[in-house]
Amino acid sequence: AEQKMELQERLKQLKKERNAIILAHYYQRDEIQEVADFRGDSFLLAQKAAQTDAEVIVFCGVHFMGESAKILAPNKTVLIPDERAGCPMADMVNVDGLRKLKAQHPNAKVVTYINSSAEIKAETDICCTSANAVRVIQSVDSDEIIWVPDKNLGHYVQQHTDKKLIIWEGYCNTHDMLTVKDVYEMRTKYPEAEFVVHPECRPEVVAMGDFVGSTTAILEYCKKSDRKQFIVGTEDGTGYQLRLDSPDKEFHFATKFLVCPNMKVNNLKKLVKCLETMKPQIYVPPVVADRARISLERMLQV
Ligand code: 13P
Ligand code: SF4
């Protein structure tokens, strides 16, 4: 506890010295969410990065999120506590494969989930997050959409649009772990609870949801609901904000496997160290960033 307080003190000083802002995704460890200037989902944090006056952005999340921040704020320094915090889903799509698919469907527009590399965003018409996916799809002036990389979110979105989605076969290793059996068992154990679920989960699991939505949508839903018990079908880190918003409610994660190991690579110690050393910094080659920025800015305007 003493070490934690020392780290928090040191962080406060460094933030002032460097004119830095700390952004943390809801899936980060509690010790990081506690000291963040802003907590958010991938959409809210991208928006914050685009708007901030700070000179330095410390992005506590996974690599593609830091990249998106750098693309949207090219003149700022973007630090991440540990560059090994990647996203396996983002790595499931490559530029060659996407180009081939585009060649096969020349009339389709490419809608890419923000969980993707800068190179993929550079090949994209418009980005989206789980919070705005349906709205983004509806805004595109084409009836045929190439959707990368999340097949589960793609399946969910397909049910809410008449457009034809050509869906890439990627998925989130963490959300995809949740099974129908897990949810049945939890429902038996907590019959009074509502099941809230992220659309990165498997279609058959999403179909069981009393509420389906992005991280922020789940947080808002649980805050407003009169129910006192919830079975949560998204990453364990959201427990921090859920309990902060509703200390009188009970939140049960649907399995103990809903923990993204990549998100947990970051910790308070590494956060302090990156501001001390100003490393590791995110770099995106300007030729890539300039093209990727168009697809991100289009998303922010929807
Ligand atoms: P959101 O923050 O958009 O809900 O995305 C979930 C996720 O898996 C981020 O890595
Ligand atoms: Fe990637 Fe899933 Fe982890 Fe999000 S929770 S960073 S999508 S692996």
- Secondary structure (DSSP) of 41-78: -HHHHHHHHHH---SEEEEES-HHHHHHHHHHSTTSEE
75 is known to lie in a ligand binding site: no
Q: Which residue type does 121 have?
A: K
Measured from the Cα of 172, ligand 2's closest atom is 2
Query: Is the separation of the CB atoms in 22 and 36 below 8 Å?
Result: yes
Low-confidence stretches of the chain (pLDDT beneath 70): none
Do 139 and 166 have their domain in common? yes
Do 295 and 164 have their domain in common? yes
Helix (H) or strand (E) run with residue 150 in it: none
247 is known to lie in a ligand binding site: no
Pocket of ligand 2 (CB under 6 A): 27, 62, 87-89, 115, 172-175, 235, 260, 262-263
Q: What are 234-279's pLDDT values in tens digits?
A: 999 999 999 999 999 999 999 999 999 999 999 999 999 999 999 9
Residue 258 lies in a domain: no
Residue 124 lies in a domain: yes
Do 140 and 190 have their domain in common? no
pLDDT score recorded for residue 1: 81
198 Cα to the center of ligand 1, angstroms:
9
Residue 15 lies in a domain: yes
116 is known to lie in a ligand binding site: no
25 is known to lie in a ligand binding site: yes
Beta-strand relationship, 56-60 and 229-233 = unpaired
Q: How far is CA 278 from CA 38, 60, 78, 85, 264, in A?
A: 20, 14, 9, 17, 21
17 Cα to the center of ligand 1, angstroms:
31
Query: Is the separation of the CB atoms in 254 and 85 below 8 Å?
Result: no
Residue 238 lies in a domain: yes
Range of the domain at 14: 2-86+263-284
Do 10 and 77 have their domain in common? yes
Residue 158 lies in a domain: yes
Q: Name 100's Cβ contacts closer than 8 Å, sequence gap at least 6.
A: none
Q: In the structure encoding, which two tokens stand for residue 111, read together?
A: 């809608």
260 Cα to the center of ligand 2, angstroms:
6
What total of structural domains would you count in the chain?
3
Do 236 and 219 have their domain in common? yes
Query: Is the separation of the CB atoms in 189 and 230 below 8 Å?
Result: no
Query: Is the separation of the CB atoms in 184 and 207 below 8 Å?
Result: no
Do 66 and 81 have their domain in common? yes
CATH of the domain at 98: 3.40.50.10800
